[in-house]
Amino acid sequence: MMSRTERAACLLLLLAAAVVTLYPLATLVAAALSSSGNSGGIAFSWHMSLSAFRYAWDNGDFSRYMLNTAIVTVTVVAVSTVIAVMAGYSVALAKPPGARWVLYAAVFGFMLPVEALIVPWYYQFRDVNIVNTYWSMILPQVAQSIAFGTFWMYVAFRSVPRSLSESARIDGASPVALLWRILVPTVAPAVKTMAALVFLWTWNAFLLPLVMVSNSSLYTVTVGLSSFQGAHFNNYSALAAGSCLAALPVVVVYLFAQRSFIAGLFAGSLVE
């Protein structure tokens, strides 16, 4: 019903937007694959080399940074997922008196910016001597992820038909078995989305590790990359390689679980 020109114009515009989106990322990959020590700015070269990656991994300590980030991220995702699933179930289905207040606290906590809590967190941790440890990066992010996750799982469990948990209970299933064997599998997509988002947020975190950790052997990849830029701002290929390493894990998870990521977007609008 639309004219061919209109179709063509539309497609052209969509493609142009895709080019604008991808161009910066393509220059990054191109610079990372150019030969190491390139200081002439971003440049496309047909001579591809992995030397910049090797340099970033070994000399740039990115192996260490990636390991630290993986330790923090995996711990935060695992711990907060388990705790949030339990809390979400409790608030949505078990409903002991007073549980609603936990839900309100979770929604409230989810809306608080890191910037508002970073100062008290720092002094709280300084008092118990855990600044400059993995704990100082893990604990606050577990708390924030629980705040989001409790609300997220509450929404998911609320949509589970009441008859499912009733019949399981009459069959004599213990609360733990009911939750993990029967309810969690039915809300698996929501759990997956939650885990994907917490993974993204934790891997990407910058202010928290920047403040908490001054010992470079504990740097996460974001802080490591930032300090690497300070020291190697002219070594474009090494910096680009480091950037690719930092970005890669989340991009891979995104490409495999993009539906989960996109479903999670609506978390923000649900709070409304």
Partner 1 sequence: MTALSNGPAAADTARGGRAPRANPPAAEATARARRRRRGREWLSGYLFLAPAVLFLAVLIIYPLGKAVQYSLQRWDGIGPASYVGLSNYTQIFTDPVERGSLVNLGILLVFYSLIPTALALAVVAMVRRVRVRGMGFFRVVYFLPQVIVTVVVAIVWTWLMAPSGTGTINGILHAIGAGPATGTPWLGSFSTALPAVGLIAAWLDFGLCFVLLLPGIQRIPPEIYDAARVDGADVFREFFRITVPMLRRDIGAAITITAVAALQSFTLIYQATNGGPGYATMVPGLLIYRDAFQLGSVGAASALGIAMTVIIFVLTFGIRALIERNA
Smaller CB separation from partner 1, 24 or 185: 24
CB of 59 to partner 1, least distance (A): 18
CB of 155 to partner 1, least distance (A): 15
CB of 21 to partner 1, least distance (A): 6
CB of 58 to partner 1, least distance (A): 20
Conformational region of residue 65, where left means phi above 0, alpha means psi within -120 to 50, and beta covers everything else:
alpha
CB of 61 to partner 1, least distance (A): 15
Burial class (CB in 10 A: 0-12, 13-18, 19+), 88: buried
Smaller CB separation from partner 1, 59 or 214: 214
CB of 42 to partner 1, least distance (A): 5
Please give the Cα distance from 168 to 176 (Å, whole number).
11
Smaller CB separation from partner 1, 112 or 231: 112
Smaller CB separation from partner 1, 119 or 188: 119
C-alpha dist (Å) from residue 56 to 32, 49, 63, 139, 250: 10, 13, 8, 29, 19
End-to-end Cα distance, the chain: 38
Please give the Cα distance from 258 to 235 (Å, whole number).
33
Smaller CB separation from partner 1, 17 or 50: 17
Helix axes 236-256, 188-204, angle to 10 degrees: 170
Smaller CB separation from partner 1, 1 or 161: 1
